[in-house]
Chain A
Amino acid sequence: MSFRQPLFRKYMLVLTGMIAATLIIASVVQTALSVRAQRARVDELLMAQSQLAIVQIQSFLSSITDSMLWALDYDQPGRPVDLAGVRDVIHRLLRKVPSLLQLRYVSADGCVRIEVARVSVDSSDGCASIPLLEHERTLLREARNRPVAYGRVLFRDGSEPYVDIAIASRSRLGGALLAQVDLRQIHSTVTAIRAGASGSAYIVDQDWQLIAHPDANLVLRHLDLRGSDAVAAVLSGGLATNPTMTYDFNGHTVLSVAAPVRGPRWWLFVQQPAREAFHPILVSLGATLFVVLVALAAAVAVSYLLARRMSSPILAVRVGAERIGAGDLQTRIVIETGDEVELLAHEFNRMAIALGESHEHLEAKVSQRTAALELVGAKVRRQAAELAAVNAELSSRLGELALRKDEAERASAAKTRFLAAASHDLMQPMHAVGLLLGVLYERLHNPDESNLVSKVQAAVHGMESLFSGLLDISKLDSHTVTLDMQTVQLEDLFAFVELNYQPLAQEKSLRLRFARCRYGVRSDSALLERIVANLVSNAIRYTVSGKVLIGCRRVGNTVRLQVHDTGVGIPAALQGHIFEEFYQIDTQRREPRQGLGLGLSIVQRSASLLGVAIHLTSTPGRGSMFEITLPLAHRQAAAVSPVPGLNTQRLRGAFIVVVDDDVNALYAMEQLFGLAGCHVIAARSTAEIHDLLSCHIRIPDLIVTDLRLGGADSGLHAIDYIRRDSEQSIAAIIVTGESNPPSQASLPDHCMLLRKPVRPASLFNACIAMLGTSNPETPAPAYLLQ
């Protein structure tokens, strides 16, 4: 089992977090205090440097003023002013103080007694020759009230700064010296001022003019510093400020402080690059960060050790518990911490001992049970061996049964093949005999002879029924019948069946009635017709008097087709046997021509093939009712039903081509159609048709042909030839005795398939029906006539 937060990690995180938080908080507080203190020291240092710079500037000015005071020593009471001496002193003063450009001695009455210049010529021509400007007079008046009077800084030619300094003598004569000082000379003094390694200083006067700077060119450009924030903060406030962060003339961040220069009302600005000024603070921060990181690393290490020490006993208990849980009951947890964890381990050990004892007891019981089970198992194994022997014997017998089943199936198939072949071979002569008897009957006029032919016809009809039933049974058993599912109109089907069985019913004075039924069902038309025909035939056969009623009823999506009769009825005990082959109910009132007992067998096999159930309801002496349930078909174009009624008059004048390779059958059909008034061409092959039709201009109305014409020739070839020759889709009837005839779908259009043997009436009805379909587009009827 894995934990999302193992105990060791929890201890580790908690301990590390606590120690780290403590360290970080302490470091932050200490660093903040340290930074504050160091910032204060930086400020103090910069202010001290500014004061030192002030001293240097004052020293520069003092060297000038002191020299001027020394020169004024000549202005002593009781001594006349010796202008030559004054001039000599002033020249010495100029040599001593290079920054002095010019000196004038002004007497107490305001006259300039002498003017000595460094570059200009000296003058001592009298009071009027050297006029004083107004600001110079003002300055001299100020000099009377203070030790030294400083004028405003002026720029000669807008480039060279200078200042007037006036010092008045305190003697009785009251003379004064007015000096013009070249401030370019202060450059070396300002350049010598240092603030840290790369700091500098500059001087701004009360008129915001830069008058001294290490870069002398800035001064010569006569800069006005009203746009400088640092200068504005000082000159607008008028007070010295603490160091502040600002920008120098090059846009670099500097720590700047201003200090006033006493006397001339100048401001000395001392600035130091911020990076340099705060370098100790950055170093301190770096050192603190390093110490914190080292301490954090140590904290992690200590946390690791503590967490390990705290979690290892618990982990030992956990491992021991896991081993005990896994079945290792000999495990003992050894912990000597002297606390609750050790007590917990002790309890685990006791539990392991108890579990071990219980385990041993259980094992003994399990051994006993295992021995008993082994005995039972041996017995079961013996029985299993016996069963295996029985199974082997059964398998052997099943194999024999399978062999016998295969032999039976092969025998059944051989029988089916035999019956199919025999039926076909028998049906062909039966077909010819039937037709010939029809011809003979028409030609005989003697009643006795006709009666005799009728009996022969009845015997032949019985043989045909027998062969037909056997053929159907063989086909159904051979599983060779292919379903041709289509929509079957029950009304048409009923009409066709009525056409075939009404004569039989009339012969027995029975009422054969078909109810009106307009439904269409989805089924194979041939099989359904066979079922209905057999049921109707069966009902007529076993009904002596009364009626046979055929009807249908729609129930949901199905149609129930029922055949009622008032016949002998079927006892309940026999109802299970009536569908067996050749089974006939033994009854006194049975019809003398009661058939062979194959009809219901064919019905059952056909219904089974269609997948429909047959329901029988019968009461002995009152009659029976057979019912089959068929799926309702969607409405479609109604199939063309054959035209009911036997009337050879409708065939009169028709041009019929008859084709059959059997000479007898060909002769019989030629004679039959000839008696019906038809114009007949009889041919045995497709080649003969060619010869015979070449003599006729008229196009045939109908083709009646056998399916097999011998060799490669067939009825389909004959139909195709005549249609191509006439370029019309002439109606055709194909007669066949095949046990597996072609499906309706595989036949050409306007073709009807008849099964041999075909009775003359059926043949005439089919011909009349086909001649009625003059419209080529009308689908051909798809009924298999018997």
Chain B
Amino acid sequence: MSPDKMKPPCRMRRLLIAAAAVPILVQGRASPRFHIACLSSSRQSTTAFDAFQAAFGAHDPAMAVQVRFTHAFADFDPQRLRHLALKLDAAGPDLILCFDFDAAQAVLSARGKTEIPVVFRAHDDPVKRGLVDSYSRPGRGMTGITTFRCIDDKLVEIMRDALPAARRIGFIRDASIPDGGCHAKAQEYARKRGVELLDYSVSAQTDLPALLARIGYAKPDAVIVSATAITWNGRRDVIAKMDALALPALYEAQVFVDDGGLMYFGAVQSDAYMRLARAVVHILRGGKAGEFPVSRPVQFELLINFKAKHAHSYALSAEILRRADRILE
């Protein structure tokens, strides 16, 4: 799961959308027609919600003012998440918007006789994990978007190209999430490239501090940080640790770079919320959720942040600098 952070241009756009919606409100459309219940495993999803709401208003301003949102957070408590899912199913909103895979799965498990449409945003493979039938026709009254692609080996390749001398690369990931052999492919690739991939696996948020405390013991030359809920929540600690150890790190989400990380390679998030908004509008206008395709990321980018601490001391290769889609200086 890949949390986001709202960018300044998006806030400006939201203000403009809100200003455009004022005449509509004056015309008497203030009373909302639709109720969207938002469910998330973490309270930090409010940032993602802000990004979604901005995209929603930009995509369909008239519809945006007719919607009432309610929010529910499980705080990573599976029991609470299930309880909230049951509660939402009983409340009968027009649509349930899930901001992570676990929330969508909880709603699916709690669903009663009435099939309330669900739109989800996930960083997992929804087909392989059994959430939907297929990408083109997801079925089950569900649709959404995913930012997932198996790029663990690609991350190793980029890190290897960025630091040709690196032979020991640590890989922080959430081992509790089934990845369909994605990380194994990365291990295989690292072995071919003569790189020792250090397994920095965690299974819970509580594991992260201990990991960070001993991360220097294996003396890695670089670290790759996958985008999981655990790393997302502890990203500032991770970045601080990398800076403290002067370890070059490659992250899987832009939010890490935004918080001072060195590099990231992953799906561009800017169109993800727009695709999410399209799915929501389609359903509110009477479309069937199960027939709306689940969209996957279209664009990927490599971003190098020379504003990061010790960035200039890492001696990144010229090749990776040429390959980078964006370089922040």
Query: Do A222 and B298 touch across chains, with their CB atoms under 8 A apart?
Result: no
Q: Is B325 an interface residue (CB 8 A)?
A: yes
Chain A residues within 8 Å of B295, by CB: 216-217, 220
Query: Do A121 and B137 touch across chains, with their CB atoms under 8 A apart?
Result: no
Query: Do A217 and B323 touch across chains, with their CB atoms under 8 A apart?
Result: no
Q: Is A359 an interface residue (CB 8 A)?
A: no
Cβ 8 A contact of A158, one of B134, B154, B189, B298:
B134
Given contacts A119-B154, A121-B157, contact A217 B300 (CB under 8 A): no
Q: Is A122 an interface residue (CB 8 A)?
A: yes
Shortest distance in angstroms between B105's beta carbon and chain A's nearest beta carbon? Answer: 20
State in angstroms the CA–CA spacing of A92 and B189 once bound together: 23
Shortest distance in angstroms between A114's beta carbon and chain B's nearest beta carbon? Answer: 13
Shortest distance in angstroms between A341's beta carbon and chain B's nearest beta carbon? Answer: 71
Cβ 8 A contact of A159, one of B151, B153, B278, B293:
B293
Query: Do B299 and A121 touch across chains, with their CB atoms under 8 A apart?
Result: no
Given contacts A98-B299, A182-B298, A184-B298, contact A120 B154 (CB under 8 A): yes
Query: Do B136 and A91 touch across chains, with their CB atoms under 8 A apart?
Result: no
Shortest distance in angstroms between A95's beta carbon and chain B's nearest beta carbon? Answer: 6
State in angstroms the CA–CA spacing of A317 and B323 once bound together: 108
Which among B154, B292, B293, B300 has the highest number of chain A CB atoms within 10 Å? B293
Shortest distance in angstroms between A532's beta carbon and chain B's nearest beta carbon? Answer: 121
Chain B residues within 8 Å of A157, by CB: 127, 134-136
Query: Do B296 and A88 touch across chains, with their CB atoms under 8 A apart?
Result: no
Query: Do A88 and B319 touch across chains, with their CB atoms under 8 A apart?
Result: yes
Query: Do B278 and A217 touch across chains, with their CB atoms under 8 A apart?
Result: yes
Query: Do A158 and B136 touch across chains, with their CB atoms under 8 A apart?
Result: yes
Q: Is A185 an interface residue (CB 8 A)?
A: yes
State in angstroms the CA–CA spacing of A158 and B137 once bound together: 9
Query: Do B278 and A91 touch across chains, with their CB atoms under 8 A apart?
Result: no
List A89-139 residues whose CB lies under 8 Å from chain B. 91-92, 95, 98, 117-122
Given contacts A119-B154, A185-B298, contact A95 B135 (CB under 8 A): no
Q: Is B282 an interface residue (CB 8 A)?
A: yes
Closest Cβ neighbor of A117 among chain B residues: B154
Shortest distance in angstroms between B114's beta carbon and chain A's nearest beta carbon? Answer: 25
Q: Is A160 an interface residue (CB 8 A)?
A: yes
State in angstroms the CA–CA spacing of A92 and B293 once bound together: 32
List B152-171 residues whose CB lies under 8 Å from chain A. 153-154, 156-157
Cβ 8 A contact of A121, one of B127, B153, B294:
B153
State in angstroms the CA–CA spacing of A216 and B135 once bound together: 13
Chain A residues within 8 Å of B294, by CB: 159
Closest Cβ neighbor of A92 among chain B residues: B322
State in angstroms the CA–CA spacing of A119 and B266 once bound together: 9
Query: Do A221 and B137 touch across chains, with their CB atoms under 8 A apart?
Result: yes
Query: Do B136 and A220 touch across chains, with their CB atoms under 8 A apart?
Result: yes
State in angstroms the CA–CA spacing of A160 and B157 once bound together: 25
Cβ 8 A contact of A91, one of B282, B300, B322:
B322
Chain A residues within 8 Å of B149, by CB: 119
Name the interface size band of chain A.
20 to 34
Chain B residues within 8 Å of A88, by CB: 319, 322
Query: Do A121 and B291 touch across chains, with their CB atoms under 8 A apart?
Result: no
Shortest distance in angstroms between A378's beta carbon and chain B's nearest beta carbon? Answer: 104
Closest Cβ neighbor of A94 among chain B residues: B323
Given contacts A119-B151, A157-B134, contact A95 B293 (CB under 8 A): no
Bits for A143-155, please: 1 = Cβ < 8 Å to B, else 0: 0000000000001
Given contacts A88-B319, A91-B323, A220-B293, contact A118 B300 (CB under 8 A): yes
Chain A residues within 8 Å of B136, by CB: 155, 157-159, 220-222
Given contacts A95-B323, A157-B135, A217-B282, contact A119 B293 (CB under 8 A): no
Chain B residues within 8 Å of A220, by CB: 135-136, 293, 295
Shortest distance in angstroms between B144's beta carbon and chain A's nearest beta carbon? Answer: 12
Shortest distance in angstroms between A528's beta carbon and chain B's nearest beta carbon? Answer: 115
Shortest distance in angstroms between A44's beta carbon and chain B's nearest beta carbon? Answer: 35
State in angstroms the CA–CA spacing of A88 and B295 once bound together: 30
Closest Cβ neighbor of B275 among chain A residues: A216
Chain B residues within 8 Å of A222, by CB: 136
Chain B residues within 8 Å of A221, by CB: 136-137, 291, 293
List B273-329 residues whose CB lies under 8 Å from chain A. 278, 282, 291-296, 298-300, 319, 322-323, 325
Chain A residues within 8 Å of B151, by CB: 119
Cβ 8 A contact of B300, one of A119, A121, A155:
A119
State in angstroms the CA–CA spacing of A119 and B298 once bound together: 11
Query: Do A122 and B157 touch across chains, with their CB atoms under 8 A apart?
Result: yes
State in angstroms the CA–CA spacing of A88 and B282 once bound together: 42
State in angstroms the CA–CA spacing of A122 and B295 once bound together: 25
Given contacts A95-B325, A119-B149, contact A159 B154 (CB under 8 A): no
Chain B residues within 8 Å of A160, by CB: 135, 296
Shortest distance in angstroms between A205's beta carbon and chain B's nearest beta carbon? Answer: 16
State in angstroms the CA–CA spacing of A120 and B136 once bound together: 22
Closest Cβ neighbor of A182 among chain B residues: B298
Cβ 8 A contact of B293, one of A120, A185, A217:
A217
State in angstroms the CA–CA spacing of A216 and B137 once bound together: 14
List B108-145 residues whose CB lies under 8 Å from chain A. 127, 134-137
State in angstroms the CA–CA spacing of A182 and B323 once bound together: 19
Given contacts A88-B319, A95-B325, A158-B136, contact A121 B293 (CB under 8 A): no
State in angstroms the CA–CA spacing of A562 and B149 once bound together: 152
Closest Cβ neighbor of B323 among chain A residues: A91
Shortest distance in angstroms between A25's beta carbon and chain B's nearest beta carbon? Answer: 49
State in angstroms the CA–CA spacing of A95 and B300 once bound together: 10
Cβ 8 A contact of B135, one of A91, A121, A158, A182:
A158
State in angstroms the CA–CA spacing of A95 and B265 once bound together: 13
Shortest distance in angstroms between A94's beta carbon and chain B's nearest beta carbon? Answer: 8
Chain A residues within 8 Å of B153, by CB: 120-121
List B36-62 residues whose CB lies under 8 Å from chain A. none
Shortest distance in angstroms between B275's beta carbon and chain A's nearest beta carbon? Answer: 8
Closest Cβ neighbor of A158 among chain B residues: B136
State in angstroms the CA–CA spacing of A160 and B156 once bound together: 26
Shortest distance in angstroms between A751's beta carbon and chain B's nearest beta carbon? Answer: 113
State in angstroms the CA–CA spacing of A216 and B277 once bound together: 13
State in angstroms the CA–CA spacing of A88 and B292 once bound together: 39
Chain A residues within 8 Å of B157, by CB: 121-122
State in angstroms the CA–CA spacing of A91 and B135 once bound together: 29
Given contacts A88-B322, A92-B322, contact A217 B292 (CB under 8 A): yes
Chain B residues within 8 Å of A120, by CB: 153-154
State in angstroms the CA–CA spacing of A95 and B292 once bound together: 30
Shortest distance in angstroms between B207's beta carbon and chain A's nearest beta carbon? Answer: 28
Query: Do A159 and B134 touch across chains, with their CB atoms under 8 A apart?
Result: yes
Shortest distance in angstroms between A89's beta carbon and chain B's nearest beta carbon? Answer: 10
Closest Cβ neighbor of B189 among chain A residues: A121
Shortest distance in angstroms between B37's beta carbon and chain A's nearest beta carbon? Answer: 23
Chain B residues within 8 Å of A92, by CB: 322-323
Closest Cβ neighbor of B137 among chain A residues: A221
Bits for B188-231, please: 1 = Cβ < 8 Å to A, else 0: 01000000000000000000000000000000000000000000
Shortest distance in angstroms between A439's beta carbon and chain B's nearest beta carbon? Answer: 138
State in angstroms the CA–CA spacing of A159 and B136 once bound together: 5
Query: Do B154 and A121 touch across chains, with their CB atoms under 8 A apart?
Result: yes
Closest Cβ neighbor of B268 among chain A residues: A98
State in angstroms the CA–CA spacing of A505 and B278 once bound together: 149
Which among A98, A118, A159 has the highest number of chain B CB atoms within 10 Å? A159
Shortest distance in angstroms between A740's beta carbon and chain B's nearest beta carbon? Answer: 111
Q: Which 8 A-B pairs have the closest CB atoms?
A: A220-B293, A159-B135, A159-B136, A91-B323, A121-B157, A121-B153, A158-B136, A222-B136
Residues on A close to B: CB < 8 A? 88, 91-92, 95, 98, 117-122, 155, 157-160, 182, 184-185, 216-217, 220-222
12 contacts between A and B (CB under 8 A): A119-B149, A120-B153, A121-B189, A122-B157, A157-B127, A158-B134, A159-B134, A160-B296, A216-B278, A217-B292, A220-B295, A221-B293
Known: A91-B323, A98-B299. 19 other contacts (CB 8 A): A88-B322, A91-B322, A92-B322, A92-B323, A119-B149, A119-B154, A120-B153, A121-B153, A121-B154, A121-B157, A155-B136, A157-B136, A158-B135, A159-B134, A182-B298, A185-B298, A217-B295, A221-B291, A222-B136
